[in-house]
């Protein structure tokens, strides 16, 4: 019984000695840890000062109200058999998904990039004019980027790189409860993001409108031909009503600034202090804490290697 109590006291004493040795090792190497931590934190501070502010702008869209043209039973049945949707623009269509697919389509982007010279708009030489830094310390950014040289690129390379940039800049989200669609853009240049939202909303709206109107025109041409060949009076009446409804749908689709949607809120140039990133204070704090942990680990590892060498030398004798 006494032996067991003696063993417990011995183990407790050994643990206390180990803890004392650990703290003693840390204290003996406190200057090494402090210098390492100061070095890493300084690099983190320079990095945080080098990064320009990131800004966001967005527009909130809602679907247009259903304005379905009235149509008789016979014409309605004929339209249903032909698979023609006579509802208002956007009726039953996943507009957010449609816009999302367009934002991921290279051909769609390519036409817009070339039309508005977006590759030049997003060039570093252009957007860095409007960079905003912490405490206006642009000198740190200039120091790290003074020797950078841009390589000559072909037009296709520039267009594709701009397309990759735009995929990161632009995004679409949907509020499931209200059905509102948010088109947003994020970039260090707070002026360009507003322009990009205006451009892409207009182009996506026009693209879908063009496709829909083309389909309506094809249907009108087909039923006008059928009307000329039809001999039955009831059939002619139904075709006339169907044609009238298609024309009404075409007129309604062109009403309003945008197709299928209307703006609930318009994009604005972000206020200079209303940045979305970077979290500079968080970057520095995380770097400081991590550097202390790594510094302590390095000190223990160094002591472990030193102790192993000492034991090997003792055994060799």
**φ/ψ (deg, to 5) at 66:** -65, 120
Q: How high is the pLDDT of residue 214?
A: 87
Average pLDDT over residues 34-46: 95
Average pLDDT over residues 3-9: 53
Q: Please check the confidence at residue 64 and state whether its pLDDT lies above 90.
A: no
Same domain, 40 and 59: no
Q: How high is the pLDDT of residue 255?
A: 74
Average pLDDT over residues 140-162: 80
Q: How high is the pLDDT of residue 79?
A: 47
Q: How high is the pLDDT of residue 179?
A: 87
> Within a domain: residue 274?
no
Q: How high is the pLDDT of residue 188?
A: 95
Average pLDDT over residues 236-260: 81
Is 177:188 a contact under the CB 8 Å cutoff?
no
217: three-class secondary structure by DSSP: helix
79-106 residue pLDDT tens? 444 455 555 444 446 788 889 999 999 9
Q: How high is the pLDDT of residue 278?
A: 93
Q: How high is the pLDDT of residue 171?
A: 95
> Within a domain: residue 287?
yes
Q: Between residues 248 and 170, which one has the greater pLDDT?
A: 170
Q: Between residues 171 and 63, which one has the greater pLDDT?
A: 171
Count Cβ atoms within 10 A of the Cβ of residue 213 and give its class: 0-12 exposed, 13-18 middle, 19 or more buried: middle
CA distance 55 to 20: 51
CA distance 317 to 312: 9
> Within a domain: residue 290?
yes
Same domain, 29 and 85: no
Q: Between residues 78 and 144, which one has the greater pLDDT?
A: 144
Helix/strand number for the chain, H first, E second? 12, 4
Same domain, 85 and 146: yes
Q: How high is the pLDDT of residue 315?
A: 65
158-182 residue pLDDT tens? 999 999 999 999 999 999 888 899 9
Q: How high is the pLDDT of residue 316?
A: 65
Same domain, 250 and 113: yes
Q: Please check the confidence at residue 236 and state whether its pLDDT lies above 90.
A: no
Number of domains observed in the structure of the chain: 2
Q: How high is the pLDDT of residue 150?
A: 61
> Within a domain: residue 238?
yes
CA distance 115 to 109: 10
297-313 residue pLDDT tens? 998 888 888 877 777 77
- In the chain, % of residues over pLDDT 70: 81
Same domain, 63 and 46: no
Q: How high is the pLDDT of residue 259?
A: 85
Average pLDDT over residues 179-205: 95
> Within a domain: residue 273?
no
104: three-class secondary structure by DSSP: coil
Q: Between residues 210 and 13, which one has the greater pLDDT?
A: 210
Range of the domain at 159: 55-265
Same domain, 27 and 140: no
């Amino acid at each position: 019984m006494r032996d067991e109590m003696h063993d417990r006291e011995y183990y407790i004493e050994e643990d206390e000695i180990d803890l004392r040795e650990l703290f003693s090792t840390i204290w003996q190497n406190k200057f090494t840890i402090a210098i390492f931590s100061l070095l890493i934190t300084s690099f983190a501070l320079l990095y945080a000062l080098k990064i320009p502010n990131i800004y966001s702008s967005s527009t909130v869209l809602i679907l247009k109200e259903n304005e379905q043209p009235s149509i008789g039973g016979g014409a309605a049945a004929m339209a249903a058999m032909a698979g023609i949707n006579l509802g208002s623009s956007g009726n039953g269509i996943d507009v957010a998904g449609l816009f999302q697919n367009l934002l991921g389509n290279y051909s769609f982007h390519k036409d817009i990039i070339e039309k508005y010279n977006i590759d030049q708009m997003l060039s570093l030489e252009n957007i860095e004019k409007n960079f905003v830094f912490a405490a206006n310390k642009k000198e740190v950014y200039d120091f790290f980027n003074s020797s950078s040289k841009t390589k000559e690129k072909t037009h296709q390379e520039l267009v594709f790189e701009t397309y990759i940039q735009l995929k990161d800049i632009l995004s679409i989200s949907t509020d499931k409860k209200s059905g509102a669609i948010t088109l947003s853009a994020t970039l260090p240049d707070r002026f360009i993001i507003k322009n990009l939202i205006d451009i892409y909303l207009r182009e996506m709206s026009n693209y879908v409108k063009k496709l829909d109107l083309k389909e309506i025109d094809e249907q009108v041409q087909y039923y006008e031909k059928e009307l000329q060949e039809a001999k039955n009076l009831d059939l002619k009446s139904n075709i006339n009503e169907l044609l009238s409804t298609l024309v009404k749908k075409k007129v309604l689709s062109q009403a309003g600034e945008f197709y299928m949607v209307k703006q609930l809120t318009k994009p604005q140039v972000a206020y200079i202090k209303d940045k979305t990133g970077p979290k500079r204070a968080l970057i520095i704090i995380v770097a400081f804490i991590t550097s202390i942990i790594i510094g302590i680990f390095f000190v223990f590892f160094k002591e472990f290697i030193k102790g192993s060498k000492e034991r090997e030398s003792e055994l060799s004798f």
